[in-house]
Amino acid sequence: MRSPIPDYLAEALSSVESDESGAMADYIPELAAANPDRLAVALCTEDGRLYSQGDADVAFSIQSISKPFVYALALADSGFDEVMAKVSVEPSGDAFNEISFEDGTGRPLNPMINAGAITAHTLAGPRDATPTERTSRIIDGLSAFAGRHLSVDEGVYESEISTAYRNRALANMLRANDIIDGEPLDAVVGYTRQCALLVTVEDLALMAATLANRGVNPLTGAPVVSALVVRQVLSVMATCGMYDGAGHWMTNVGIPAKSGVAGGLIGALPGQAGIATFSPRLDEHGNSVRGVDLFRRFTSEMGMHLMEVPPPGPSVVRGRELVGTGDQAVQILSLQGRIRFAGAERVLRDLENDPLTQKRVAISLERVATVGPVARRMLLEAVRRLTLDGHDVYLIDPDGALPDPDPGDGGRVTVVSERLGITE
Ligand code: DON
């Protein structure tokens, strides 16, 4: 069978193709000269399958889509405390290039607006890096997200740096506020080079999929940043990634996202996929008109809104059974599915409301796919309490769904890989 996903993506592109509204970014002369009709989409699953349609091999400059990735590198290299001291995480409600700083601290309000992004640029790489070393670290880091070496479009860089008066003003203010060290112009030069990196929608979908996949590039397998860094970055993308359009974006589309003035747009759906679109005409917030439309469509047709959860599946508690007789009888509580906090709570509730009656009891994880870290602790506490209540406790866990099964203080459990291990 041929997968219907490419057909679906092609059809989505044709549904927005005739929309010529919006305007090209004209404050960077080179961008104003780009072909406004380009249109492309790519989707990369969290296990690395890439689908794309339209002008998928056309390269364009990454622009502000570099910001979440550089913020990730800054967090990884300088640590959360240092980065938070210099850039806050509050939505500004302002345009991307607004000259706005937090009262009292002089910090930029978030790393998605230019002031915050220029600051994040200075926090990536080692503290004593030269401007050139820092920019190289950033290019290498973004390349690791993309799974291939990215290079700077020198024409776009020259075009932007020669007119970057506003970003220079921002960098000078940041220096005056003691937020960045060193020469402000170096920060603007490095930031402008970062924005001029050439990408295709396929690169961007893979970069977004790396965020969706807890910081591990799903194609190369390279761990680029930690899961904790990804959590921070996706949270900031969700609240600030679409600038003064962020509230409408989050309510209508509901995916952590980032746009760029060259017409790129990415969305990262945690645990599922990265999506990228390319269409250069922009709305009044600087976001791609047809890109926003495509994402709206994907959200409603593919159920991607983060706040929309699937209806509850079958209960984690699958049932109970009694095997064997007399002293050898074992009461087995069978669990199923993916167990997180709410599922583990169901197990604890079940054990409290309807206590196990045999001396020998077993919890079966034979049909359990995964046990989250919190659920693991809750289940082990159940084991500990069952031991303290006088039970001999077994865990039937053929696939090792519950790692390191140590119930701690006073608890005891015998782990077996099949039922026969306790019933015979
Ligand atoms: O700093 C700038 O103005 C550009 N290099 C990036 C702006 C941008 O992409 C805004 N996003 N939509």
CATH code, domain carrying 323:
3.30.750.24
Per-residue pLDDT of the chain (424 residues; tens, 9 = 90+): 999 999 999 999 999 999 999 999 988 888 988 999 999 999 999 999 999 999 999 999 999 999 999 999 999 999 999 999 999 999 988 889 998 899 999 999 999 999 999 999 999 999 999 999 999 999 999 999 999 999 999 999 999 999 999 999 999 999 999 999 999 999 999 999 999 999 999 999 999 999 999 999 999 999 999 999 999 999 999 999 988 888 999 999 999 999 999 999 999 999 999 999 999 999 998 899 999 999 999 998 988 999 998 888 889 999 999 999 888 899 999 999 999 999 999 999 999 999 999 999 999 999 999 999 999 999 999 999 999 999 999 999 999 999 999 999 999 999 999 987 776 6
User: What pLDDT score was predicted for residue 314?
Assistant: 86
What is the C-alpha to C-alpha distance for residues 256 and 274, in angstroms, rounded to an integer? 10
Nearest to 337 by CA among 319, 316, 321: 316
- What pTM, to 2 d.p., does this model score? 0.92
**Ligand 1 centre distance from Cα of residue 384 (Å):** 55
Among candidate residues 302, 337, 365, the one where a domain is terminated: 302
CATH of the domain at 289: 3.40.710.10
**Ligand 1 centre distance from Cα of residue 172 (Å):** 18
**Residue 349 belongs to what domain range?**
317-423
Question: Do residue 345 and residue 415 come from a single domain?
Answer: yes
User: What pLDDT score was predicted for residue 83?
Assistant: 98
What is the C-alpha to C-alpha distance for residues 39 and 336, in angstroms, rounded to an integer? 44
**Ligand 1 centre distance from Cα of residue 393 (Å):** 60
What is the b/e burial string over 261-299, where b = at least 16 CB atoms within 10 angstroms of the residue's CB? Answer: bbbbbbbbbbebbbbbbbbbbbbebbbbbbbbbbbeebb
Question: Do residue 78 and residue 197 come from a single domain?
Answer: yes
Who's near 139: CB < 8 A, 6+ residues apart?
A: 150, 151, 152, 193, 194, 197
Structure-token pair, residue 283: 């709305």
Question: Do residue 218 and residue 122 come from a single domain?
Answer: yes
Among candidate residues 302, 327, 350, the one where a domain is terminated: 302
Question: Do residue 79 and residue 217 come from a single domain?
Answer: yes
What is the C-alpha to C-alpha distance for residues 8 and 66, in angstroms, rounded to an integer? 28
Among candidate residues 302, 328, 353, the one where a domain is terminated: 302
Tokens 């045999």 appear where?
358
Please name the residue whose Cα sits nearest to atom 3 of ligand 1.
Answer: 97
In a domain, 307, yes or no: no
Question: Do residue 327 and residue 277 come from a single domain?
Answer: no
Contact 397, 415 (CB under 8 A): yes
Beta carbon of 97 within 6 Å of any ligand 1 atom: yes
Q: Which of 96, 138, 237, 283 to mutate to test the pocket of ligand 1 (most atoms within 8 A of CB)?
A: 96
User: What pLDDT score was predicted for residue 275?
Assistant: 98
What are phi and psi for residue 352, nearest 5 degrees?
A: -75, -45
**Ligand 1 centre distance from Cα of residue 97 (Å):** 8
What is the C-alpha to C-alpha distance for residues 409 and 411, in angstroms, rounded to an integer? 6
Beta carbon of 96 within 6 Å of any ligand 1 atom: yes
Question: Do residue 363 and residue 327 come from a single domain?
Answer: yes
Active site residues: 64, 67, 191, 243, 261
Q: Structural domain tally of the chain? A: 2
Please name the residue whose Cα sits nearest to atom 11 of ligand 1.
Answer: 260
What is the C-alpha to C-alpha distance for residues 263 and 289, in angstroms, rounded to an integer? 9
